[in-house]
Amino acid sequence: MKKVVVLALALTVTPFAIEAQNTAQVNATATILANVVATPLTNLEFGQLQPGTGTTVSTGAAAPGGQTLGEFQIVHNSNVTVSTTVPANLVGPGGNIAVTFLCAYASASQGPTDIGDVACDALPTRVVLLPGVDETSFVQVAGSISGADTNVQAGAYSTSMTFTVTAVN
């Protein structure tokens, strides 16, 4: 008799203890595009050289007469990376003139650099102070030519560098 009563109680309790329910989730997603505008400002000009003489154009200030510091401007509202392939030579009528390049970031055009000079293919990530708010950065491109490399045929020697600016978060 006792066993029967226990069974009956169990049956009455069970239906109220179980409730059908379930849950699931999906995501809402969006990507805010970064604003990045790069504008070339000045070419790096070493100026006119006598054969056998070298020269250097430095970062951090406007170059002296006859020379110009290379520079481009970046308006960006996110962190950016700047990459390039660095050429080894200027090319002209007498062949190649070896050249070395150095780059730096600045907050003002032709102004003092925010970091020390680095190889142009090793610029660090440029960090914005306030993500989402446009800031202006400058990349200065400097370089030097050794006197030993300028005993070449007269003429114009040049090369080009293509910089890629990429927004990163």
Partner 1 sequence: MSAHRVLVLIAALCALLSVPQPSTGQIAIFPAQDLVFGPLQRGVPEFVATTDAARRAQFDVIARGSLIATFVLPTEMVSLANGSVLPIAILANDGLAGRSNSLVVFDPTQPLTFRGHPSKPFSLYLGGTADPGASQSPGSYSATITLFVIQAGA
CA–CA distance, 105 with 139 (Å, rounded to integer):
5
Q: Is there a contact between 127 and 116 (Cβ–Cβ < 8 Å)?
A: no
Q: Does 156 bind partner 1 (CB under 8 A)?
A: no
Which of 23, 116, 129, 156: binder of partner 1 (CB under 8 A)? Answer: 23
Which residues does 137 contact at the CB level (< 8 Å), separation at least 6? 73, 74, 76, 80, 105, 106, 107, 126
Does position 6 interact with partner 1 (CB under 8 A)? The reply is: no
- What is the rounded distance in angstroms from the CA atom of residue 13 to the CA atom of residue 28? 41
Give CA–CA dist 166/79, Å, rounded: 8
Give yes or no for residue 78 binding partner 1 (CB under 8 A): yes
Q: Which of 6, 116, 155, 169 binds partner 1 (CB under 8 A)?
A: 169
- Closer by beta carbon to partner 1, 81 or else 153: 81
User: Which of the stretches 27-35, 94-102, 105-113, 156-164 binds partner 1 when contact is defined by CB under 8 A?
Assistant: 27-35
Q: Report the interface residues with partner 1, using CB under 8 A.
A: 1, 4, 7-8, 11-12, 14-15, 18-35, 77-78, 130-133, 167, 169
